[in-house]
Amino acid sequence: MSTDPSPLGKSVPLVPPLYQSSVYTLPDLDALDQISDGVEPGFIYARDAHPNARRLADILAGWEAADWAIVTSSGMAAISAILLATCQQGDRIVASNRLYGRTTQLLGQESPRFGLSTVFVDPGDLPAIEAALKPGARLLFVETMSNPLLRLADLAALAALARASGSLFVVDNTFATPILTRPLQLGADVVMESLTKMIGGHSDVTLGLLAGRGELLPQVTAASSIWGLSANPFDCWLAERGLATLPLRMQAASDNALSLALWLEGQKGVSRVVYPGRTDHADHQLAGSLLQGGYGNMLCFDLAGGRDAVNRFLRLASGIPFSPSLGNTTTTLSHPASTSHRYLSPAERKRQGISDGLIRLSVGIEPLDVIQAEIRKGLA
Ligand SMILES: Cc1ncc(COP(=O)(O)O)c(C=O)c1O
């Protein structure tokens, strides 16, 4: 089979091609040297680089206002890559105490095996963060918006503290996406996104992103290639297609979420609604300054009847699938106490405000009344 692109003549495909090839052919050793040395553009082996990942990274670098970006095989791969690229044995990390569970495991359980230590601190307690950063922690890691209670981190204030202590400030922006906020413009050094969620947007890819300011790309690229964290072409191709509608999807889903957050309060059996767009949310004011164009598509509510009421809701509102991820075009639902926070003790869950009746919605872009009708069924 010919791989010569000349059959296209002068035609250029409107849609970017999918380069589903794990390796490239080269005319001679000189060409290989030139590509390897970065003198000429080109690709050799897909684990090191391939056109679909490069395209996606370049587009996302623009969206994140970054100097560089790299796509990885998952959000967790992106977090692993930044640790592997920047940390040495003996380094200390300061991290939020309300991170995604697997990130907490990576920092708290896995990294110590490689000589890293992490201290977990409430990112809203700036004096505690400042104290923990001293003297010279290697890295500060927080999420823009936490799961599931959607607490916000004051990124500009945290960036100033990280800068003062010479620490690299890394922000997981998955729940906000670059549509709502761009952490690099607020002083972060590196932003990480799970593209598996809203950015991919259709629950059919597993990918991550690192984007940053400054000179870190060679180290991050080496870590990704050597530790085998690279993204596959088809997922990159799908994610690029998802990007075309990301601003529209985020707008529509945020509008739906705000309407639902206000409407849910009056519904029978609902004892609490958690949404940063509500004036009673703990970080409502911060949300106003941190987020642009909306408060996001994630929303939680508590059912007074606890776990039994949640089970009833799941069975009755079957049009909102119980699906413990987020960012699909349609509304999905999760139960943090049984999924993301399952392995915390009941006392710790209580301390964090995660009750057995708490339902987390990833609000989609359906017409609002379709979602409301389904929620009404669940509450019946
Ligand atoms: C906030 C956050 N960060 C990181 C991740 C990990 O992303 P991935 O599942 O793409 O590895 C997740 C996954 O749910 C997440 O919610």
377 alpha carbon – ligand 1 mean position (Å): 30
Average pLDDT of 202-216? Answer: 97
330 alpha carbon – ligand 1 mean position (Å): 19
147 CB near ligand 1 (under 6 Å): yes
Please determine, for residue 257, whether its predicted confidence score (pLDDT) is greater than 60: yes
Torsion of CA 100, 101, 107, 109, to 10 degrees: 180
**Residue ranges of domains in the chain, CATH in brackets:** 15-243 (3.40.640.10), 246-379 (3.90.1150.10)
User: Roughly what angle, to the nearest 10 degrees, separates helices 306-316 and 368-379?
Assistant: 130
Distance CA 60, CA 194 (A): 12
* Residue 140 φ/ψ, nearest 5 degrees: -115, 125
302 CB near ligand 1 (under 6 Å): no
Q: Ligand 1 atom 9: the closest Cα is on which residue?
A: 75
Q: Which tokens in the block code for residue 88?
A: 């040495």
Q: What band does 3 get if pLDDT is binned at 50, 70 and 90?
A: low
Provide the 3-class DSSP secondary structure of residue 4. Answer: coil
Q: Which helix (H) or strand (E) holds 209?
A: strand 208-212
Please determine, for residue 185, whether its predicted confidence score (pLDDT) is greater than 80: yes
Q: Cβ(196)–Cβ(15) under 8 Å?
A: no
Task: Tell me the per-residue pLDDT of 341-363, one tens digit each, with 9 for 90 and over.
Answer: 888 888 888 888 999 999 999 99
Strand order in the sheet with 190-194: 68-72, 208-212, 190-194, 168-172, 139-143, 92-96, 117-121
DSSP conformation letters of 100-128: -HHHHHIIIIIGGGGT-EEEEE-TT-HHH
Task: Tell me the per-residue pLDDT of 20-57, one tens digit each, with 9 for 90 and over.
Answer: 999 999 999 999 999 999 999 999 999 999 999 999 99
Please determine, for residue 241, whether its predicted confidence score (pLDDT) is greater than 60: yes
Q: Ligand 1 atom 6: the closest Cα is on which residue?
A: 75
pTM for the full model?
A: 0.96
Please determine, for residue 170, whether its predicted confidence score (pLDDT) is greater than 80: yes
The pLDDT, as a whole number, for residue 7 is 86
* Beta pairing partners, 212: 68, 190
Average pLDDT of 187-196? Answer: 98
Please determine, for residue 2, whether its predicted confidence score (pLDDT) is greater than 80: no
Q: Cβ(294)–Cβ(198) under 8 Å?
A: no
Task: Tell me the per-residue pLDDT of 154-164, one tens digit each, with 9 for 90 and over.
Answer: 999 999 999 99
Chain-wide mean pLDDT for the chain?
A: 96
Provide the 3-class DSSP secondary structure of residue 233. Answer: helix
Q: What band does 135 get if pLDDT is binned at 50, 70 and 90?
A: confident
Please determine, for residue 5, whether its predicted confidence score (pLDDT) is greater than 70: no
Please determine, for residue 380, whether its predicted confidence score (pLDDT) is greater than 90: yes
Please determine, for residue 218, whether its predicted confidence score (pLDDT) is greater than 60: yes
206 CB near ligand 1 (under 6 Å): yes
Whether omega for the bond prior to residue 247 falls within 30 degrees of 0, making it cis, is no
Q: How much of the chain, in percent, has pLDDT values that exceed 70? A: 99
78 alpha carbon – ligand 1 mean position (Å): 10
The pLDDT, as a whole number, for residue 191 is 99
169 CB near ligand 1 (under 6 Å): no
b/e map of 78-100 (b: 16 or more CB within 10 Å)? Answer: bbbbbbbbbbeeebbbbbbbbbb
The pLDDT, as a whole number, for residue 345 is 85
The pLDDT, as a whole number, for residue 4 is 63
Q: Cβ(193)–Cβ(171) under 8 Å?
A: no
What residue type is assigned to position 377 of the chain?
K
Task: Tell me the per-residue pLDDT of 294-312, one tens digit each, with 9 for 90 and over.
Answer: 999 999 999 999 999 999 9
Q: What positions carry a catalytic annotation?
A: 47, 100, 172, 197
Please determine, for residue 1, whether its predicted confidence score (pLDDT) is greater than 70: no
Distance CA 128, CA 134 (A): 10
The pLDDT, as a whole number, for residue 351 is 85
Terminal-to-terminal C-alpha distance of the chain: 60
Give which of 272, 251, 234, 260 is closest to 359, Cα–Cα. Answer: 272
Average pLDDT of 269-277? Answer: 98
Distance CA 182, CA 307 (A): 37
Which of 197, 203, 230 to mutate for ligand 1's pocket (most ligand atoms within 8 Å of CB)? 197
191 alpha carbon – ligand 1 mean position (Å): 13
Give which of 264, 245, 249 is closest to 297, Cα–Cα. Answer: 249
Task: Tell me the per-residue pLDDT of 69-103, one tens digit each, with 9 for 90 and over.
Answer: 999 999 999 999 999 999 999 999 999 999 998 99
100 CB near ligand 1 (under 6 Å): yes
The pLDDT, as a whole number, for residue 239 is 98
Which of 107, 194, 238, 326 to mutate for ligand 1's pocket (most ligand atoms within 8 Å of CB)? 194
Q: Ligand 1 atom 8: the closest Cα is on which residue?
A: 75
Q: Which helix (H) or strand (E) holds 210?
A: strand 208-212
Q: How far is CA 379 from the centre of its chain?
A: 31
Distance CA 120, CA 344 (A): 15
